[in-house]
Amino acid sequence: MLRRFETYALDARTDRRAPPAVPGLEMVLRACPDHIPEVEFNVVGWNRSDAPVHVVWEHAFASVEAYRRYMVHPYHAAVIDRFVLSDSPERVVVDDAFGAGLFGYRCEGAPFRLERGLRRVVLLRVDRGVDEARVRRFTGALERAAGEPSELVLSVVAANSLGGAWFDGVTPVGPPPRWTHVWEQGFASWPALGAYRAGGSTLAEVERAGGDGWATWSSGVVRTVAELVYDVDGSGV
């Protein structure tokens, strides 16, 4: 399966409350599976982190072939692109300055499935000079973190293989993506996330220490991190 995210920062001149602008964008993204059956696990969230991103759109595709059908579907070109392409007069977003306009990974099944609650996506920038064995040990430690601490009910880590292969899901296009790995987390609620952040687990202590904490705990594997946080209301599962 191809797990995929798009994020959007809103144009400062756009009034979120005024239709058909931003509500229109949210509506067409939520309705995507009704028109493109290849789109699965469709969720639209409003980011609550400090990252310069407003809308997070998460979804998945059963195969590369399904993804390619989505890319050329008329609903994609005629409806979604109205709100996001730079040459559209109805555009309500600005160019990606965060380096996470599109990212994702391949996986078996749907380990990221979260029926409702809170999704936290941690974007990792792994030093490209680190050997693969060290990277695998580090990402394996993150995946095993689910349930330890108890508030973390879901933990999936993968290389950002779609960030540089957005066109067909396979072929790299342009420079390597800024964020090399994706760490998806799931929490039952906002209080659960708060309890995790204030708790005594190794991961919580690492995160509270910021960049120095990550560099020390990962033995120099991770250079920097960023996060996206949003509600999952169950409508896309």
Q: What is the pTM of this model?
A: 0.92
Query: Mapping DSSP to helix (H, G, I), strand (E, B) and coil, where does residue 186 land?
Result: strand
* Cβ neighbours, 10 Å, residue 46: 14
Dihedral-angle region of residue 186 (phi above 0 means left; psi in -120 to 50 means alpha; beta otherwise): beta
Phi/psi of residue 190, nearest 5 degrees: -65, -40
List all residues 6 or more positions away from 202 whose beta carbon is below 8 Å from its beta carbon: 217
How many of the other CB atoms lie within 10 Å of CB of 186? 23
Residue 144 CA to residue 190 CA, distance in Å, equals: 22
pLDDT of residue 19: 42
Q: Under CATH, which number does the domain 115-232 receive?
A: 3.30.70.100
Q: Distance of CA 230 to CAs 57, 161, 164, Å? A: 10, 23, 24
The token pair at 157 is 């880590």
Dihedral sign (CA 191, 5, 217, 155): positive
Is the domain defined by 2-94 classed in CATH 3.50.30.30? no
Task: Output the CA–CA distances (angstroms, integers) from residue 116 to 43, 188, 234, in the order listed.
Answer: 10, 7, 5
* pLDDT tens track, the chain, 237 positions: 999 999 999 987 765 544 445 778 999 999 999 999 999 999 999 999 999 999 999 999 999 999 999 999 999 999 999 999 999 988 999 999 999 999 999 999 999 999 999 999 999 999 888 899 999 888 888 888 877 889 999 999 999 999 999 999 999 998 999 999 999 999 999 999 999 999 998 888 988 888 888 888 888 899 899 999 999 986 655
Say yes or no: do domains 2-94 and 115-232 share a fold. yes
Spans of all domains in the chain: 2-94, 115-232
Q: How far is CA 189 from CA 71, 192, 194, in A?
A: 34, 5, 9
